[in-house]
Amino acid sequence: MASPETRVLLVTPDFPPAKGGIQLLLERLIENAPGLRTRVLTLGQEGATEFDRDAGLDVRRVARADGDRRIAALRLNAQTLREAATFRPDVILSGHVVASLAAISLRRALRTPFVQYVHADEFRVRARLSAAAVRRADATIAVSAYTREMALAAGARPERVNVIHPGVDLPAAVPAAREEEPTLLTVATLLFRYKGHDVMTRALPLIRAQVPEARWIVVGDGPFRPAIESAIEAYGLGGSVELLGRVSDSERNEWLDRASVFCMPSRLPADGLGGEGFGIVYLEAAAHGMPSLGGNVAGARDAVLDGETGLLVDPTDHLALAAAATRLLAEPELARKMGAAARRHAEAHAWPLIAAKVEALLHEVASGRVPPAV
């Protein structure tokens, strides 16, 4: 195995204190990989100085470009070339394909190997760049089988694509009992229609026809909120829906302990590409012992084990969603059994276990021994 001092330059536009699945994934990886000496190169943002001071991580930041993401990405790649000259990494970990331009150049010029993370939606938004990244990377980490399929379709070599799911923070214990009031919970930004809030709104009247006390709690905010508010009013659901907006982590965790069923029926975007690469929030619900309802497409198929840790349905069919939600609300013993299985599924995805897989891959790539795909 390579030296425990394997030097990794992690380059990413997405990193805390910004919120999001990619940000959380990359932060937890380097926190739980003691065999790596990791330097993070990312973008500056509000609150970054305080975060970097308190986190105790080696973080270097590039000034943002006043909201112009293209220029910000170019600056990030330019600084990668300079940072590699001083830090001299054994391997570069590109956290998003927009960071791959410099990684590709360094691989060609200095033979510095690089590993590319892929999450799914980049194959829709940046198809050509994504294809170039996965074709030239020494190894690719796909967050789900679905994302692996997208990487292969883009030209990646099968033996170089490794499926390593994201991880999850495990609470010390799951709640002994949940609220008696049947509660459906969604935690998702109201930025993308594919998250399924609209289908949930159409399903809720049918759910309440069978379970009259059922309510829907929505955590998250974004530009899609007015449309959901209008639909809630049109269906006369105002008394059974709470749009909480953005909440603290502690309040979100309280709802994960209190609610009956987690619901996020994500579907594929209109063009059929991208969407839910995995869905860490399904694992977060599972870690709290709650079963999930998800769409039977994309990365949710890895995050939710259909019939075991929850139910997967056609995410465009509000009738199927209503039937599945009603079943779990009306059969609390089934929901409890699935919640217990979900907790075990989450335990197998604890961050130290996931980070160890990524660390091992980075050691192998740095030493020139790239393992076969898993």
CB atoms near residue 54 (< 10 Å) = 9
The confidence score (pLDDT) of residue 4 equals 57
pLDDT at position 2: 43
Read off the pLDDT of each residue in 2-22 and give the average, rounded to a whole number.
88
Q: What is the pLDDT of residue 310?
A: 98
Own/partner long-range contacts of 245-252 (Cβ < 8 Å, ≥24 apart):
245/219, 245/220, 245/221, 246/219, 246/220, 246/221, 247/219, 252/187, 252/219
CB atoms within 10 A of CB 359: 21
Lowest mean pLDDT among 64-68, 95-99, 314-318, 338-342: 64-68
Please report which confidence band the pLDDT of residue 192 belongs to, taking 50, 70 and 90 as the band edges.
confident
**Mean pLDDT, to the nearest integer, of 358-374?**
82
- Closest to 113 in 3D by CA, of 354, 372, 362: 362
Given a cut of 80, is residue 249 above it in pLDDT?
A: yes
For residue 1, pLDDT beyond 50: no
Helices (H) and strands (E) in the chain, counts: 15, 13
pLDDT in tens, 66-118: 678 889 999 999 999 999 999 999 999 999 999 999 999 999 999 999 999 99
**Tell me, what's the pLDDT at 371?**
58
- Rounded to an integer, the average pLDDT of 175-179 is 84
pLDDT in tens, 193-248: 899 999 999 999 999 999 999 999 999 999 999 999 999 999 999 899 999 999 99
Q: What global pTM score does this model have?
A: 0.93
Over the stretch 264-294, which tens digit does the pLDDT of each residue have?
999 998 878 788 999 999 999 999 999 999 9
Q: Nearest 5°: CA angle at 95, between 266 and 42? A: 115
DSSP SS3 for 190: coil
Count of alpha carbons within 13 Å of 127, Cβ hemisphere only? 6
